[in-house]
Amino acid sequence: MASSPFLSRIPINNKTISFSSSLSPLFPFSPSTLSHRKRNPNALRVQAKIREIFMPALSSTMTEGKIVSWIKSEGDVLSKGESVVVVESDKADMDVETFYDGILAAIVVPEGETAPVGAPIGLLAENEEEIAEAKAKAASKAGGSSSPATPVSPPDTSTPAPAIPQPPPAPAAPEGPRKTIATPFAKKLARQHKVDINKVVGTGPHGRITPADVEAAAGIAVSKPSVSPASPAAAAAPVMAAASSSAPPPLPGSNVVPFTSMQAAVSKNMVESLSVPTFRVGYPLTTDALDALYEKVKPKGVTMTALLAKAAAMALVQHPVVNASCKDGKSFTYNSNINIAVAVAINGGLITPVLQDADKLDLYLLSKKWKELLEKARAKQLQPQEYNSGTFTLSNLGMFGVDRFDAILPPGQGAIMAVGASKPTVVADKDGFFSVKSKMLVNVTADHRIVYGADLAAFLQTFAKIVENPESLTL
């Protein structure tokens, strides 16, 4: 009976994550020792000296984490529930606290370095006597990580062995007894120059005999044979060029910057979204009434983002298929909650704080919640459920004067709305009279596996009615 290497309980408490750990020694339990431990519960406690602090999974998509900073130093005494280290996940920085009392004996992963989820990043000792043992264990872990690097080099030395693929000329020998493969023009040349084509070694694909092979066997057109050996070199050159073109060298004076964890997550999501068949629909809205309402409620702390999120949520109530999601390509899910994610640009990346149950909150509470989320997003303190639970996304570039744009559908969602700027536009009414009204264009990108054109058009009509008659937003 051995202790589990990891205790998976990771309660999220405000902005901190608690980690568990594994026991340093794995204890073989015999029936006698088990019965002894029943009589003496402290026996196990005496042996459980060194615990591993491991990299926690701060989100469902996190595969590795970066150590932003160690709040505690080696030798510091820790109390249960105390924050020890700040870890950067793919979307946020979070304080990680300990489940146990003890001494931070050794830091395995220093600040600025990354470690996969579940890997030990530090060692916790129960008392000062075990600190030396913990440091030795940390050194062995560092040595263990470097020792596999040395076995990796032998494969490199053995890789020259693939140079033995030079013997592929040997397969040319079996071509004798087998059926001769030659191009029609090569056969014609062989007849003309009285060359036994069965004795010619082909250099073409799969041993095919080419006209150059026949001419070389006939001993004529020496320039051609020189061209044929050059052709493999020429063939290799494009391969080299293709390889180099795939990773072109940086321009002189340029600076290559690796992705941060957040940028890597955004890149992964964007690439994943390319596998989803999407379509886009644009719809013009008249925003005079919405602008008037905004000026009225702005002094009370209401933002335009909250107004648009509330309008989208109310429209989604009437068109649940636009709020649905398809994750496996075989079925789709009608989400019971309407959670509006809003794209926000922050230093070093992009994140989508989520207004959960936006249809059930009044406009003023929704605005207050949005301000809280925005502050936490800019401080990189969002909890996973505050940025990965969206069912529909809003992306607003209208504040920058952008007229229209298309947004990329986030993985796992059915639709995303791109909001442009509201600008004065000359329009004609049904009687032919001209007037100037504020117009705004919204473009929606949707997953065509679950949302069809008619569905999206009906949703946009409802959204337009709410925006153009916004009294219901304040109810």
Compute the distance between CA of residue 21 and CA of residue 346 in angstroms, rounded to an integer: 33
Residue 137 half-sphere exposure toward CB, CA atoms < 13 A = 22
Compute the distance between CA of residue 384 and CA of residue 327 in angstroms, rounded to an integer: 19
Compute the distance between CA of residue 119 and CA of residue 87 in angstroms, rounded to an integer: 13
* Residue type present at position 133: E
Compute the distance between CA of residue 274 and CA of residue 47 in angstroms, rounded to an integer: 53
Handedness of CA 332, 337, 338, 339 (dihedral sign): negative
193 is catalytic: no
Compute the distance between CA of residue 66 and CA of residue 254 in angstroms, rounded to an integer: 26
Tokens 């990354």 -> residue? 114
Nearest to 53 by CA among 1, 127, 130, 105: 105
The SS3 assignment for 474 reads helix
DSSP string for residues in 286-318: E-HHHHHHHHHHGGGT--HHHHHHHHHHHHHHH
* Residue type present at position 417: M
Residue 183 dihedral angles phi and psi, to the nearest 5°: -75, 150
Compute the distance between CA of residue 164 and CA of residue 4 in angstroms, rounded to an integer: 47
Structure tokens at 418: 């791109």
Nearest to 180 by CA among 166, 192, 190: 190
Q: How many residues does the chain have?
A: 475
Q: How many of the other CB atoms lie within 10 Å of CB of 33?
A: 14
Q: How far is CA 38 from CA 3, 27, 41, 278, 473, in A?
A: 17, 15, 6, 62, 64
Q: How many of the other CB atoms lie within 10 Å of CB of 394?
A: 23
Distance, C-alpha 229 to centroid of its chain: 46
Compute the distance between CA of residue 122 and CA of residue 138 in angstroms, rounded to an integer: 8
Compute the distance between CA of residue 414 and CA of residue 182 in angstroms, rounded to an integer: 56
What contacts 140, CB < 8 A, 6 or more positions away? none
Q: How many of the other CB atoms lie within 10 Å of CB of 109?
A: 23
Q: How many of the other CB atoms lie within 10 Å of CB of 27?
A: 13
Tokens 């996969």 -> residue? 116
Give the active site residue among 36, 193, 206, 448. 448
Active centre residues (catalytic): 448
